[in-house]
Structure 1
């Protein structure tokens, strides 16, 4: 059931219209229930059953059934009157740019007023529009109702099934094109990536500098200590270097000096590399790497083995995406 938010109803600037919405909603529900009952009552078996068990009710309803169009026109008159009042209000308040826009925008209100055949059941559209309007103004909350959760669950399941099939179809088509020798790689490399080499180099350079600065500079001392300890342990485990200690007099001194020198050299080299990466000096290095991966189309050599590996790699990536798309997330909610 709906939960009525009376605070929002009182604070709303459209209290009168919202009250009218509630009245119209009640009339629409009653009218639809009456239409459904009259449709069922049309069967002779139903009339005989009611005559046998609730004769007074059948006798009272027979005149209504025979003149049902007349009684239905009473509801239609009320609905059309409310429609004209809203249309007039929209013209006065200039809700739309032209006075005749209202009936076209609210066509569902008019279609349901046709008092013949299946058009009567289209009044359910007006019920939906009123409920939506009340929900939009936070007067009621349809998301907490069982009906909404039921419909929304299967709606989401339908959309997921439909979108999954479309995505898998598109990905399968891309796989077929790639495996049949589609010039996709050449277009991506030569038409998209190569003209933007400078932009790619600048972006990668900036990202590498930022990562090196944020990760290296605050931990510079700890990194140096770690490198010196690792080098010292490696040198102590080195058989050739350990033999220096057996030299008379100067052996241990040479070994210790050599260990310290190697440790300092390794730490300084790595620190210098990281300093360069953390500054704008890394741009030339990054640019050289990008040029290797994105050579000039006029000078690049055809490498069939590389292309086959790239095709295989891309095919496996697409296949992995397809497997993930096939996962039915809506079933997990069951």
Structure 2
């Protein structure tokens, strides 16, 4: 069952109305139970079963069953009285901009009061509205009940499955459109991506500079040692260079000097390249790459040329999104 926050109930300025809500909630539940029992009692088989096993109860309930509308009207009169009292309070407190708005907003209260057939069961809507109102003001908390958690879990699972299927179908349709070379790809390329080339270049430039600075600068010494070792090994395996040591007197010196010079040059070039990537000087290089992927269309061109690299990129992005959508988060809660 839900819990009642007595502290909030005591501090509330609407204590009288909350008390009436609890009273009406009890009457509604009692009335609905009576309606259900009377509907079951209408079957001849049930009446025979009660006559055989519970004759006293059948004798006591027969007059109620025969005059059920009268007894139901007693509940209806209480519900209508409460409805009129709340309507009068809404007019006095000016809760709505027009005095006649209240019955339209609380239409379920009126329809549930009609004592005819299945319309009686619409009083369940009033039960729900009262519970929701009490929960909204913090008087009760039904989110921790087993019934709420049960329906909330399967509602989330249903909505996730439904939304996943819709999203996957839409993304698959977009991939098909791109493969067929439809105007969709052309609009993505020339109406969305191309006008934002500068922004894309700036963003990629910043990301490359940040990644290079964080990954390269702290390891500058280790990278230089690694490059020098690799170059030294490569030079030692070079046949032409190894022949220099056979030169009389100066051969070994030339070989050693050349190895050190080549190693230093390679390391310096790579370090300078990484330093450039880690600074704002990489912007021109990144901008050239972006321009290759997003070339400007010439005015005399009759149709857009298909950029296979960009098409592949967009397709892979959509495929990655589909794989992520396939993940069933609700199953992790089982």
Normalization by structure 1: what TM-score?
A: 0.85
Residue 27 of structure 1 is matched in structure 2 by 27
Question: Per the alignment, do residues 260 and 14 of structure 1 end up closer, same or farther by CA in structure 2, a change over 3 Å counting?
Answer: farther
**SS of structure 1 residue aligned to 2:4:** coil
RMSD over equivalenced CA pairs, Å: 3.0
Residue 17 of structure 1 is matched in structure 2 by 17
- Looking at structure 1, the residues matched to 323 and 150 of structure 2 have their Cα atoms a distance apart, in angstroms, of 28
Matching of residues 122-141 of structure 1 within 5 Å: 122-141=122-141
- Looking at structure 2, the residues matched to 313 and 194 of structure 1 have their Cα atoms a distance apart, in angstroms, of 15
> C-alpha deviations, 1:123-146, integer Å up to 9, x for none?
111111122222223333322222
**SS of structure 1 residue aligned to 2:72:** helix
- Looking at structure 2, the residues matched to 278 and 22 of structure 1 have their Cα atoms a distance apart, in angstroms, of 68
**SS of structure 2 residue aligned to 1:143:** coil
Residue 254 of structure 2 is matched in structure 1 by 254
Tell me the CA shift for residue 315 of structure 1: 5.8
Give unmatched runs, 5+ long, in structure 1: none
**SS of structure 1 residue aligned to 2:25:** helix
Question: Per the alignment, do residues 133 and 237 of structure 1 end up closer, same or farther by CA in structure 2, a change over 3 Å counting?
Answer: farther
Give unmatched runs, 5+ long, in structure 2: none
Matching of residues 147-226 of structure 1 within 5 Å: 147-226=147-226
Tell me the CA shift for residue 326 of structure 1: 5.3
Does 2:277 align with 1:277? yes
- Looking at structure 2, the residues matched to 19 and 113 of structure 1 have their Cα atoms a distance apart, in angstroms, of 21
- Looking at structure 2, the residues matched to 189 and 177 of structure 1 have their Cα atoms a distance apart, in angstroms, of 13
Residue 84 of structure 2 is matched in structure 1 by 84
Report the number of matched residues. Answer: 332
> C-alpha deviations, 1:107-128, integer Å up to 9, x for none?
2222212221111101111111
- Looking at structure 2, the residues matched to 198 and 64 of structure 1 have their Cα atoms a distance apart, in angstroms, of 81
Residue 146 of structure 2 is matched in structure 1 by 146
Tell me the CA shift for residue 57 of structure 1: 1.6
* Worse-matched range after superposition: 270-279 or 220-229: 220-229
- Looking at structure 2, the residues matched to 169 and 237 of structure 1 have their Cα atoms a distance apart, in angstroms, of 57
- Asked whether the equivalents of residues 201 and 287 of structure 2 are also in contact (C-alpha less than 8 Å), the reply is yes
**SS of structure 2 residue aligned to 1:95:** coil
Residue 297 of structure 1 is matched in structure 2 by 297
Question: Per the alignment, do residues 264 and 113 of structure 1 end up closer, same or farther by CA in structure 2, a change over 3 Å counting?
Answer: same
Tell me the CA shift for residue 74 of structure 1: 1.6
Question: Per the alignment, do residues 262 and 12 of structure 1 end up closer, same or farther by CA in structure 2, a change over 3 Å counting?
Answer: farther
- Looking at structure 1, the residues matched to 131 and 27 of structure 2 have their Cα atoms a distance apart, in angstroms, of 13
* Worse-matched range after superposition: 259-268 or 119-128: 259-268
> C-alpha deviations, 1:210-250, integer Å up to 9, x for none?
33333333443343333333333433444443443343333
- Looking at structure 2, the residues matched to 48 and 66 of structure 1 have their Cα atoms a distance apart, in angstroms, of 16
- Looking at structure 1, the residues matched to 312 and 152 of structure 2 have their Cα atoms a distance apart, in angstroms, of 40
Tell me the CA shift for residue 30 of structure 1: 0.8
- Looking at structure 1, the residues matched to 225 and 10 of structure 2 have their Cα atoms a distance apart, in angstroms, of 70
- Looking at structure 1, the residues matched to 35 and 48 of structure 2 have their Cα atoms a distance apart, in angstroms, of 19
